Amino acid sequence: MKVKLKIWRQKNAKAKGKFVDYDLDEVSTEMSFLEMLDALNDKLIRRGEEPVAFEHDCREGICGSCSLYINGQPHGPEQKTTTCELHMRSFKDGATIVIEPFRAKAFPIMKDLIVDRNAFDKIISAGGFISINAGSAQDANSILVKKENADEAMNSASCIGCGACVAACKNASAMLFVSAKVSQFALLEQGKVEAKERVQAMVAKMDELGFGNCTNTYACEAECPKGISVENIARMNREFLSAKLT
């Protein structure tokens, strides 16, 4: 198949960027989206041109680094799919594919399709951890956790921090990411010791870094490749208000 690519090129954070058109032939429908970009870069290098900079690591939908805005959607057209899990069979022969980096004040563009998502790390450092020494594995029944809570905590912990929620939100809100990280601890007994300090610190850091607020459009949940629920946002709001009042 043949595709026409419109890719955002930007030399660095201070340079002015623009879309550049590329034509790519002999694209296999079995290629992943990142393999298609590899093929494009191989072509560019052979022509003596600078390859397109994009981020990737595991290519298994785990690390969250392959964050691209594809035809107006974070990670592309498939639901609950990261960019690296997206395959070219999702596009028609002769299709025009627009590829750009995530757009958010808190995610400044570093080069081409790569953005700096260090803001998420700063939020985690502000309070997304427990400071107790967990030690070795304890007896299964020594700390009782309701199965529903354990399941919800595991679902929340599946957030890979890719930033699709921020990219999808018209306000560039990080509420879904932060609430997932708050929930994975708030639901378990081990995380309750620092619950009040944690939620306040993480929300304060989120606001400080310039993320927008939530206006309940549910776009974040719709575009999340791991299907993180907006119920986490409600839980975080309850945790935050409780911490402020007490």
CATH number of the CATH domain containing 220 = 1.10.1060.10
| pLDDT, one tens digit for every residue, the chain (246 residues) | 999 999 999 999 999 999 999 999 999 999 999 999 999 999 999 999 999 999 999 999 999 999 999 999 999 999 999 999 999 999 999 999 999 999 999 999 999 999 999 999 999 999 977 776 666 766 766 778 889 999 999 999 999 999 999 999 999 999 999 999 999 999 988 888 899 999 999 999 999 999 999 999 999 999 999 999 999 999 999 999 999 998
Asked if 159 and 103 sit in the same domain, the reply is no
Asked if 103 and 199 sit in the same domain, the reply is no
User: In the prediction, which pLDDT does 138 show?
Assistant: 67
Provide the token pair at 23: 């034509």
Domain CATH for 54: 3.10.20.30
Provide the token pair at 220: 């974040």
User: In the prediction, which pLDDT does 140 show?
Assistant: 62
Asked if 218 and 99 sit in the same domain, the reply is no
User: Which amino acid, one-letter code, is at 169?
Assistant: C
Asked if 173 and 196 sit in the same domain, the reply is yes
Asked if 140 and 158 sit in the same domain, the reply is yes
Q: Which of 53, 86, 110 is the last residue of a domain?
A: 110
Asked if 104 and 124 sit in the same domain, the reply is no
Domain of residue 64 covers 3-110
Asked if 96 and 162 sit in the same domain, the reply is no
Distances (CA, A) of 189 to 85, 185, 246: 35, 8, 19
What is the chain written as a DSSP string?
A: --EEEEEEE-SSSSSPPEEEEEEE-S--TTSBHHHHHHHHHHHHHHTTPPPPP---S-SSSSS-----EETTEET-SSTT--GGG-BGGGS-TT-EEEEE---BTTB-EEETTEE--HHHHHHHHHH-S--S---SPPPTTTS---HHHHHHHHHHHT-----HHHHHSTT-B-HHHHHHHHHHHHTSGGGSTTHHHHHHHHHHHHHHTT-B------HHHHH-TT---THHHHHHHHHHHHHHH-
Report the domain count for the chain.
2
User: In the prediction, which pLDDT does 156 show?
Assistant: 96
Asked if 53 and 86 sit in the same domain, the reply is yes
Prediction pTM value: 0.92
Q: Which of 66, 91, 110 is the last residue of a domain?
A: 110
CB 188 within 8 A of CB 198: no
Distances (CA, A) of 146 to 80, 132, 155: 27, 21, 14
User: In the prediction, which pLDDT does 15 show?
Assistant: 95
Asked if 235 and 139 sit in the same domain, the reply is yes
Residues 6+ apart with CB under 8 A from 170: 215, 217, 219
